[in-house]
Amino acid sequence: MEGQQVYLISGEDLEKVRQALMGDEITSKANIVFKDAKLLTGREGYYIRVIGTEEQLKRIKEIIGESAKEIEAKEVEEVLKKLQEEDESALAGFGSIFG
């Protein structure tokens, strides 16, 4: 069963965590998106949106540890909505290229 989590991380810890997640055999297979928080909500830092299995989500939480915090439901909704809008906009642009 797949689940989804969204974390907020500081810029200083981003690259270390990104490398750890991408280098791990379990977490590297999850759908992970890193996005500048300022572009989405005006906050400092970066969002990490993760879609994966229970095993992947648990492992990601272990790797991230204290470096990032899982954000609250209301903010998760806002971030996911903005990410979806970006995806739809990109797809519309891509469609017009091959139209």
- Express each pLDDT in 10-64 by its tens digit: 999 999 999 999 999 999 999 999 999 999 999 999 999 999 999 999 999 999 9
The domain spans of the chain are 2-98
> In the Cβ-directed half-sphere of 51, how many Cα atoms lie within 13 Å?
3
pTM of the model: 0.85
With beta carbons less than 8 A apart as the criterion, state whether 70 and 78 touch.
no
Q: Is it true that domain 2-98 has CATH number 1.10.760?
A: no
Residues 27, 58: Cα–Cα separation, whole Å? 9
